[in-house]
Structure 1
Amino acid sequence: MPAQRADARRNYARILAVAEDEVAAHGADASLEQIARTAGVGSATVRRHFPTRRALLEAVFHERIEALAARAGELAEADDVRAALLEWLGALTAYSASARGLAAAVVRDGESGTGQENACAARLTEAGGPLLRRAERAGAVAPGVTMADLLTLIAGIALATERHPDPAAEADRLLRLAVAGISPRG
């Protein structure tokens, strides 16, 4: 693949910076046209760099997804497998609650018919999978729980708390409630 021209690299960086701001302000449905206008490029330039909305969202969240994946790797050999999984899920929940648009990017199947994999969900599944498998083998997680289940739960919590005055605190409370269950111990 030929190297990008300098102006193309600048356009990419400018579009991505504007997209980060727009997604933070408006979530996953941020206007691509507004992103193009603010970045000072045409809509075709945005689509050339990011052929789908999901491609743009994946680029916006790439660095944080990689940081979460690295954290999962750090926790993979922890002695307390339940605590390790819950710490990672807590970090994922906190970020999902604070980063508007991430929850939608994780659960959305993207533009119908593209056949593209959801890179955000795939990377989180790859990273969190070993934590979940170790917790399941240790009996700390019910058999049959999947990473898709956990990502859907966290995305739901993030979406439900998006307009809460303190979304991160409320998301953490709801995650702890989901983990503990709603039945009294008895």
Structure 2
Amino acid sequence: MPHTAGGQLPDPREVVTGPLDLSARVDEALAVQAVAFGLTDEEIGVRRHIVLRHMSTPGARALGATTEGDRLVGFVYGMPNDRSQWWSTVVEPYLRQEGTEGWLDDSFVITELHVHPAFQHRGIGRGLITRLTDAAAEPRSLLSALDTDSPARALYRSLGYRDLARRVQFPSAPQPYAVMGAWLPLRR
């Protein structure tokens, strides 16, 4: 686990979770995502436009986790699913093949959830996703995650998400993804 200067781990009690103006802090959020997910500068540029477009979608909401010094160390955002949006059009055939296509209706999609590696494994990601989905009007939630056994997938399973489709291939993504769904509220 990464250490900060002086060998001290950050104190998770000094992290506050609350509403985030993601459009205003998009560059900080993408810097967290770049470290947590391993993005290139080119990928960051593409995602910046996507995030700004998403945040103009009706019902889109974001939460951030910040230190006492207002450093953004984690964020989550999502929106009510819209079958006409790109993500839904890509995952729909995979869900249809598995008989789970109905999950695309009345669902709140977690678009991104990232926590800086120095702050992971402290419940920050769990707090962000549960707080965001607790405010959703929809009865269920969807997300996609790399189709590997990872700490992120373990977190999602512990919250009640289950695989709805696997080996989902997004254009230009080298690795397959899994689409996961959970009834709300998420398991505690």
Is TM > 0.5 for Structure 1 vs Structure 2?
A: no
State the TM-score, normalizing by the size of structure 1: 0.30
State the TM-score, normalizing by the size of structure 2: 0.30
- Relative to total residues, which structure has the larger helix share, 1 or 2? 1
- Relative to total residues, which structure has the larger strand share, 1 or 2? 2
Q: Which has the higher contact order (CA 8 A, sep 6+)?
A: 1
